[in-house]
Structure 1
Amino acid sequence: MNEVRVGRTDLFAPRIGLGTAALGNFQRAISDADAIAVVEHALERGLRYLDTAPLYGHGLAEQRVGRAVAAAARDELVISTKVGRLLRPDAPRDETQYHDGVPFYVDVPPVGPVWDFSYDGVRRSVEESLQRTGLERFDVLLMHDPDDHLSEAATTGYAALRDLREAGLVRAIGAGMNHSAPLAELVRSCDLDVVLLAGRYTLLDQSAMADLLPACEEREVSVVIGGVFNSGVLVDPAPGASFDYIPARDEVVAKALAIQDVCRKYDVPLAAAALQFPLAHPRVSTVLIGARTVAELDDDLALLDVEIPPALWADLRNAGLIHAG
């Protein structure tokens, strides 16, 4: 649970954090009590970085995080949430949040996300997140999935976050996405402290090495990594495994199986290699664990104790299974 500096700020964040999409009923509903128990157990185990968002459970995850940390020492925590989507009862259906007609978030409140990266919209989003969590402040604010809204995110959205940072109301600002190229654009055009990248710097997919990671090196921007298991295929690469939240293509499963074969040669669980892999990059400050149960959280933390010999990584490079860099 060592801490590292976030960008060039005075904020230090733990190397391991808890992502809370699963605690917002992502693909499966869980109770308030079970979700809160996961956060409380994470705090007991020493995790002090919690990442959430209005989108996660359409407010559920933020509410549950707020209740779980109510009795915790706030100054010991690093809490991040996101902006760019306001929750409204009359929201139009967002097809990006469905697969084959099934919503990613189930049993959620009767509100939906509405895109808004305007200056006032971002400020309003922060205020509403504070109300849902019951917190007085956030440590990190991230623009959430602005893929199709880059112009607004880089101007009015960024301006709102910049002003909040300058006023001392937040300590670090950035953006979080599932794609590295648009994140790299924002890093180059805005004065960001941190980015959250899901799924594009993993044992299976290092595409961020082509654009985002070099940009973050140049601008001294920290990188938080989510989705280290690529939705499950790097835990159990069996037919039908998920990749990017949907069934994985055959070639994706085949590559994961090939990586698993190398791991087995060294008696290393595939999931352990997947969880530890991103931590080696000098710009990666934190890796998020997305556990939905207390047992799953303990299992994930145990993977950090697995010793991985350097020869395993060398074999993966030599076989062309990870980036040569």
Structure 2
Amino acid sequence: MSRRDNPLGRGTLRVSELAFGAAGIGNLFTPVSDAQAERAVLAAWESGVRYFDTAPHYGLGLSERRLGAALRGLPRDEYVLSTKVGRLLRPRTEAAGDDLAHGFAVPATHERVWDFSADGVRGSLEASLERLGLDRVDIVYLHDPDDHTEQALTQAYPALEALRAEGVVGAIGVGMNQAGLLARFVRETDVDAVLLAGRYSLLDQRGLDDLLPLAAGRGVGVVVGGVFNSGLLADPRPGATFDYVTAPDGVLARALALKTVCEDHGVPLRAAALRFPFGHRAVTSVLVGARSAAEAQDAAAMLRTHVPAALWGELKERGLLPADVPTPEGTD
């Protein structure tokens, strides 16, 4: 199938509009077999996805191992791979049950140790390359430095900048589920990209307050994750999750109203949720997690779905989107 590739920030790297988020194949919340994980990755590839994202955090390295194994037979120069630094994985000396306290259905064979030092960055990346079975990654993100801001700015970021200068990585960035601190990194550093999770969606446009205009002005690419807000916009119903907790009644009601308007225009809510971020010129790619071939195929099909300009207009008229929010008028 044809696909769209967009430049990531100021550099030469280009990424597919749809990116594969590999937390799910790291057994996020529920186990996935090796075979299911491989089928999910290959289905994404066959659907045109050429950007894959993972992290040591996801399943205590399981996501990286599975993603690397699934990509191993594919042409390395035809896809972009990102991983993250900030959490080192250290073996536990004693068995400690499972890792579900951190969201992953895997044995707790390792513990996560926060480390945004220069040595921590290099050690983390070296371990990631070993798990992936690759000699390079294309993008490295500082992962959730919320409580480690100063160390991330003064130690981890310069280490990544040096690795970029050495050609070890092609691009560097920061990934978080808040926009404010990402904006600080965009202002104070020379990152190529930011990964913004959950803060630029049909239900939450806080990324528009400062980060997105700033990124556009500085030529920083924005990858948007969490467009379904952890599930609510994929299937709004009582008990659905919003930002990893049960959706409050008011938020659920708004999601159901969004769904009704979309259905009136013959568009699945998932399709509108995936297309919405591209209304802003800073947005380069949308990252969607998939744990099965069916989920990967569905995401690609939804992004290909035509979303008429009239739908965005009605959402604004009904107050379900701010009147001044940029929308991808008439795109498909």
TM-score range, shorter chain: over 0.9
Q: Is 1:222–1:285's contact at 8 Å kept on the other side of the alignment?
A: yes
Q: Which residue of 1 aligns with 2:58?
A: 56
Q: Is 1:53–1:81's contact at 8 Å kept on the other side of the alignment?
A: yes
Per-residue CA deviations over 1:57-81 (Å, capped at 9, x if unaligned) read 1100000011011111101110000
* Residue 243 in structure 1 maps to residue 227 in structure 2: no
Structure 2 counterpart of 1:107, which letter?
V
Q: Is 1:60–1:109's contact at 8 Å kept on the other side of the alignment?
A: no
How far, CA to CA, are the matches of 2:186 and 2:317 in structure 1?
32
Equivalence map 1:30-41=2 (5 Å) = 30-41=32-43
How far, CA to CA, are the matches of 2:107 and 2:75 in structure 1?
29
Q: State how many pairs are aligned.
A: 317
How far, CA to CA, are the matches of 2:307 and 2:47 in structure 1?
22
Per-residue CA deviations over 1:230-273 (Å, capped at 9, x if unaligned) read 11100211110011122111111111111112112212111111
Structure 1 counterpart of 2:86, which letter?
G
Per-residue CA deviations over 1:157-184 (Å, capped at 9, x if unaligned) read 1001000000111111000011111111
TM-score, normalised on structure 2? 0.92
Q: Is 1:25–1:108's contact at 8 Å kept on the other side of the alignment?
A: no
Matched residue of 2:304: which SS? coil
Matched residue of 2:169: which SS? coil
- Structure 1 counterpart of 2:8, from 2, 6, 9: 6
Gap runs ≥5 in structure 2: 94-98, 326-332
How far, CA to CA, are the matches of 1:13 and 1:107 in structure 2?
30
Q: Is 1:179–1:197's contact at 8 Å kept on the other side of the alignment?
A: yes
Per-residue CA deviations over 1:82-117 (Å, capped at 9, x if unaligned) read 0000011249xxxxx87xxx4411124501211000
* Residue 171 in structure 1 maps to residue 164 in structure 2: no
Q: Which residue of 2 aligns with 1:294?
A: 293
Identity %: 50
Q: Which residue of 1 aligns with 2:113?
A: 114
Gap runs ≥5 in structure 1: 92-96
Q: Is 1:255–1:321's contact at 8 Å kept on the other side of the alignment?
A: yes
Q: Is 1:18–1:51's contact at 8 Å kept on the other side of the alignment?
A: yes
Deviates more, 1:312-321 or 1:46-55: 312-321
- Structure 1 counterpart of 2:69, from 67, 70, 85: 67
Q: Which residue of 2 aligns with 1:129?
A: 128
Matched residue of 2:223: which SS? strand
CA RMSD of aligned residues (A): 1.4
Equivalence map 1:161-200=2 (5 Å) = 161-200=160-199
Matched residue of 2:106: which SS? coil
How far, CA to CA, are the matches of 1:82 and 1:116 in structure 2?
12
Matched residue of 1:136: which SS? coil
Structure 1 counterpart of 2:316, which letter?
R
Matched residue of 2:181: which SS? helix
Q: Is 2:138–2:169's contact at 8 Å kept on the other side of the alignment?
A: yes
Q: Is 2:40–2:295's contact at 8 Å kept on the other side of the alignment?
A: no
Q: Which residue of 1 aligns with 2:320?
A: 321
Matched residue of 1:304: which SS? helix
How far, CA to CA, are the matches of 2:236 and 2:176 in structure 1?
24
Equivalence map 1:274-313=2 (5 Å) = 274-313=273-312
Matched residue of 2:55: which SS? coil
**Superposition deviation, residue 305 in structure 1:** 2.7
Structure 2 counterpart of 1:208, which letter?
G
Alpha-carbon spacing, 1:3–1:305, altered in 2? closer, same or farther (3 Å): closer
How far, CA to CA, are the matches of 1:270 and 1:44 in structure 2?
24
Q: Which residue of 1 aligns with 2:137?
A: 138
Deviates more, 1:56-65 or 1:280-289: 280-289
How far, CA to CA, are the matches of 1:256 and 1:53 in structure 2?
30
* Residue 208 in structure 1 maps to residue 234 in structure 2: no
Deviates more, 1:312-321 or 1:202-211: 312-321
Deviates more, 1:73-82 or 1:213-222: 213-222
* Residue 105 in structure 1 maps to residue 107 in structure 2: no
- Structure 1 counterpart of 2:45, from 43, 46, 71: 43
Per-residue CA deviations over 1:179-223 (Å, capped at 9, x if unaligned) read 111111111111100000111001111110012112202211000
Q: Which residue of 2 aligns with 1:94?
A: none
TM-score, normalised on structure 1? 0.94
Q: Which residue of 1 aligns with 2:96?
A: none
Structure 1 counterpart of 2:305, which letter?
V
Q: Which residue of 1 aligns with 2:147?
A: 148
